[in-house]
Amino acid sequence: MNTHKLLIIDDDEQIGEMLKTIAEQCGFHVIFTDTALAFYEQLSLFEPDLIMVDLIMPDVDGVQLIERLADINHNAKLIIISGAGKRVVNSSAVSAQEHGMEIAGVLNKPFRTAEARQVLTDFIKHNRRRRPTAKEKIAPAQDHWFPGEDDLQQALDSGLINAHFQPKISSHTKLLLGFEVLARWHDEEHGGVRPDYFIQLAERTHQIDSLTRLVFDQAMCWFARLSRTVNPDQSMTLTMEPDNLTIAVNISVVNLQNRLLPDELSDCCEQHGVSPQQVILEVTETAAMENPTEMLDILTRLRIKGFGLAIDDFGVGYSSLIQLARLPFSELKVDRSFVMTGDESAESRAVIKSVVNLAKSLGLKSVAEGVESHAMRRYLDQIGCDILQGFAIAKPMAAEPCEVWIEEYYQTMEQQRVKALKTLDILDTPEEYRFDRITRLAKRLFDVPVALISFVDVERQWFKSHPDFDLPETPREFSFCAHALGFQEVFVVNNASEHPRFRNNELVTDADKPIRFYAGCPLQMPGGERLGTLCLIDSEPRHFSDQEKIVLQQLAALVEEELEADEYQDLDHLTQLFNRSAFERRSRSMLTLAERSQLAIYLLLIDIDDFRQFNELYGHTAGDTALIAIADILRENFRQSDIISRFSGDEFSVMMINKADREEIQLASIVDRINQEIDRVINQTLAPNSLKLTVSTGVATTSENSHFSYSKLLYEAQYQLRRRP
């Protein structure tokens, strides 16, 4: 007689036994397992035609297990059991189907015995067991090798297990940030063994410490070599900073019970000359939450050694937020089951987004793994996920192919960069006020002798804006900025004469104007290409605070806005000053900057009195000449870092940016001087009659009221202007 065979995996023994009884009553031949290892063993021995999987089990990832079944093309049908709520269950059912598994039913915990019986009898109804065909008898189902304890021991001893590397990149800048190390076991005879299988085998046979040690050692060895071979000084196209890269190694929960682990790992780092700061240890969410108090202890010790810590597979378990916040993690990795299904499933996207936001609010970096599509890359960038990992970027690779990949990745990035730079068509163009105002402002705010806007060309760096600095360009090999492009945020050299990479640089050893301090913030196009920097240089060593970094980043954002702005649309064509909308956009950005730095902003409105009569009396040509003359007077009397516009037909506006409490503005005397100049330049030549040109002013400032909104400033300045006699 042909009996249907049912294999159950559930960590809850009571439920498992209950299901077994029900199924046997329905006429099934049943085996119940409560661990992954037992399950996989039975899978090949028992050859079930129906499988019941509990989605949520402490030691086994049900979702992964289903994926694996699909991968090995197991033709059993599936019943999904879960207490995770209908949505999760349904979406994993969808995902299993997408992986080619057939779903025979779903049981939501808690379920009644009648429901279980119904699902099982339905299955029998629809699956009358047929006899195997002759062909199937000759060619047995594909042979799946499930190695045991001794096989693993042997594999560990004979070097069959080795480390592969999967790149991680920045979602926003596309910079290569590091790698995750993944163990691979390739057997000559049987082929590859799946990591989740042999990792669990290692855990239960007490070989996981040896495995972790082996993988960790290989990883450090490779990583140290990589840092040595990829020497940016030798390759101009590589804007790579090996010191910036990280290497992430998976640590099993069993490893964490080994009290010697922190010392062993840090010793290994020391042997290879790798800084623990560059090493991230990945611990699964379920492991971290298993025994939070004990975990806190060992994780803290690892953190003290300098290691970064990532929560792996986040979203699958049910972490208490309080515990999560208490554990010393630095990275949160969204489980790949959500990322891989995110293109089709709104639920998965909702999970991803909330994990990313959770990471943000806890001050952790968010990492999405399992990124397989470009649509997903875009989505992740849009919701502000920091780091990407997945087949859409690269598959895990052995050491050598990974090195080739790195080289190619950098070359592609550089090509895209240069292409974007050429498209921008900015190289060798004249200096412009709209850029100079930002470098001049930077000089004032940071009190440095030199601030530059530099573009890194193929073989040189060229300065779009370089007030009070003679060189228009320097060779790329001396460029600090080219290195800054390899950094996520602001790159700082406090004292170049002590910096290993720069101390022999010509610009540092040059006795004339030696560089000591450098801070550069990359300028990035919307497509992510980094073209150059806004940078500060001093001939004295200097400290640069986090607050200062933020201000520099904001100034760099102003430069980025200028790069995207349409100059033709922004200028008033008569006076060549900004027009009103261009002025307002820049003023708003400036106010945002002021909110976070100690700046006092003044908005000054200058209205020409009786300009209509002036035009009527002396003619429009004279009127135009007067406007041009006033524009010149304003340029002369305000700083180049101020923003000046022709606000309307007969109005001008100036936004003055001052360091609060440090720079006093003598507004009355400036206005007097403007009026004197107008009298001298305009009235004496253009206005011989009794009608003389005069201006009225109104001013508002942020230093007096704490409210920073542009409309309020404008309203106040206009109010003052109207009150004038």
- C-alpha count within 13 angstroms, C-beta hemisphere, residue 249: 25
Identify the H or E element spanning 220.
helix 208-229
Binder among 107, 256, 367, 371 for ligand C2E (CB under 6 A): 371
Q: What sign does the dihedral 553-560-590-600 (CA atoms) show?
A: positive
DSSP 8-class letter at 383: T
Least CB distance to ligand C2E at residue 279 (A)? 13
Assess 719 for contact with ligand C2E (CB under 6 A).
no
Cβ burial, residue 532 (10 Å; 0-12/13-18/19+): buried
Q: Pairing state of beta strands 29-33 and 50-54?
A: unpaired
Least CB distance to ligand C2E at residue 386 (A)? 16
Piece of the chain touching ligand C2E by CB under 6 A; list 185-193, 195-203, 227-235, 464-472: 195-203
Piece of the chain touching Ca ion by CB under 5 A; list 157-165, 282-290, 412-420, 650-658: 282-290
Q: Pairing state of beta strands 517-524 and 491-493?
A: antiparallel
Least CB distance to Ca ion at residue 204 (A)? 19
- Which one of ligand C2E, Ca ion, none is in contact with 59 (Cβ closer than 5 to 8 A by kind)? none
| Residues in 382-441 at the binding interface with ligand C2E, rule: CB under 6 A | 389-391, 396
Encoded tokens for 175? 């910079």
Binder among 52, 56, 182, 599 for ligand C2E (CB under 6 A): 182
Q: Give the x-and-dash track for 239-278 against Ca ion (CB under 5 A).
A: -----------x----------------------------
The answer to whether 645 and 577 are in contact (CB under 8 A) is yes
Q: Residue 362: what residue type?
A: L
Assess 67 for contact with Ca ion (CB under 5 A).
no
Assess 61 for contact with Ca ion (CB under 5 A).
no
CA distances from 595 to 643, 702, 717 (A): 17, 10, 19
- Which one of Ca ion, ligand C2E, none is in contact with 372 (Cβ closer than 5 to 8 A by kind)? ligand C2E
Least CB distance to ligand C2E at residue 464 (A)? 40
Assess 331 for contact with ligand C2E (CB under 6 A).
no
Nearer to ligand C2E, 169 or 643 (CB): 169
Assess 250 for contact with ligand C2E (CB under 6 A).
yes
Identify the H or E element spanning 76.
none
Piece of the chain touching ligand C2E by CB under 6 A; list 12-20, 366-374, 476-484, 685-693: 366-374
- C-alpha count within 13 angstroms, C-beta hemisphere, residue 719: 8
Least CB distance to ligand C2E at residue 186 (A)? 12
Assess 282 for contact with Ca ion (CB under 5 A).
yes
Assess 337 for contact with Ca ion (CB under 5 A).
no
Nearer to ligand C2E, 282 or 414 (CB): 282
Piece of the chain touching ligand C2E by CB under 6 A; list 7-15, 364-372, 445-453, 708-716: 364-372
**How many residues does this entry show for the chain?**
725
| Residues in 268-287 at the binding interface with ligand C2E, rule: CB under 6 A | 282
- C-alpha count within 13 angstroms, C-beta hemisphere, residue 49: 15
Assess 653 for contact with Ca ion (CB under 5 A).
no
Q: Around Cβ 541, how many Cβ atoms within 10 Å?
A: 13
Assess 195 for contact with ligand C2E (CB under 6 A).
yes
Assess 575 for contact with ligand C2E (CB under 6 A).
no
DSSP 8-class letter at 205: T
Return the SS3 of 231.
coil
Nearer to ligand C2E, 280 or 456 (CB): 280
Assess 241 for contact with ligand C2E (CB under 6 A).
no
Assess 313 for contact with ligand C2E (CB under 6 A).
yes
Least CB distance to ligand C2E at residue 72 (A)? 13
Backbone angles phi, psi at 18, to 5 degrees: -65, -45
Assess 183 for contact with ligand C2E (CB under 6 A).
yes
Nearer to ligand C2E, 195 or 232 (CB): 195
The answer to whether 31 and 72 are in contact (CB under 8 A) is no
| Distance from C-alpha of 33 to C-alpha of 85, rounded to nearest angstrom | 23
For residues 614-652, one letter each, b for 16 or more C-beta atoms within 10 angstroms of the residue's C-beta and e for the rest, the string is bbeebeeebbebbbebbbebbbeebbebbbbbbbeebbb
Encoded tokens for 384? 């502000």
Least CB distance to Ca ion at residue 314 (A)? 8
Assess 650 for contact with Ca ion (CB under 5 A).
no
The answer to whether 529 and 420 are in contact (CB under 8 A) is yes
Assess 288 for contact with ligand C2E (CB under 6 A).
no
Assess 587 for contact with ligand C2E (CB under 6 A).
no
Nearer to ligand C2E, 167 or 276 (CB): 167
Least CB distance to Ca ion at residue 282 (A)? 4
Assess 167 for contact with ligand C2E (CB under 6 A).
no
Nearer to Ca ion, 248 or 523 (CB): 248
Q: Around Cβ 134, how many Cβ atoms within 10 Å?
A: 8
Piece of the chain touching ligand C2E by CB under 6 A; list 21-29, 191-199, 559-567, 583-591: 191-199
| Size of the residue set binding ligand C2E (CB under 6 A) | 23
Assess 285 for contact with Ca ion (CB under 5 A).
no
Assess 560 for contact with Ca ion (CB under 5 A).
no
Encoded tokens for 463? 């300065």
Binder among 10, 49, 313, 584 for Ca ion (CB under 5 A): 313
DSSP 8-class letter at 23: H
3-state secondary structure 272-332: HCCCHHHEEEEEEHHHHHHCHHHHHHHHHHHHHCCCEEEEEEECCCCCCHHHHHHCCCCEE
Distance of CA 59 to the CA centre of its chain: 31
Binder among 106, 116, 215, 240 for ligand C2E (CB under 6 A): 215
Q: Around Cβ 702, how many Cβ atoms within 10 Å?
A: 21
Least CB distance to ligand C2E at residue 221 (A)? 14
| Distance from C-alpha of 701 to C-alpha of 667, rounded to nearest angstrom | 11
Nearer to ligand C2E, 4 or 349 (CB): 349
- C-alpha count within 13 angstroms, C-beta hemisphere, residue 686: 25
| Distance from C-alpha of 44 to C-alpha of 145, rounded to nearest angstrom | 8
CA distances from 119 to 54, 77, 106, 212, 687 (A): 15, 12, 8, 43, 98
- Which one of Ca ion, ligand C2E, none is in contact with 62 (Cβ closer than 5 to 8 A by kind)? none
Residues in contact with Ca ion by CB under 5 A are: 250, 282, 312-313
Residues lying near ligand C2E in the complex (CB under 6 A): 166, 182-183, 195-196, 199, 212, 215, 250, 252, 282, 312-313, 336, 340, 369-372, 389-391, 396
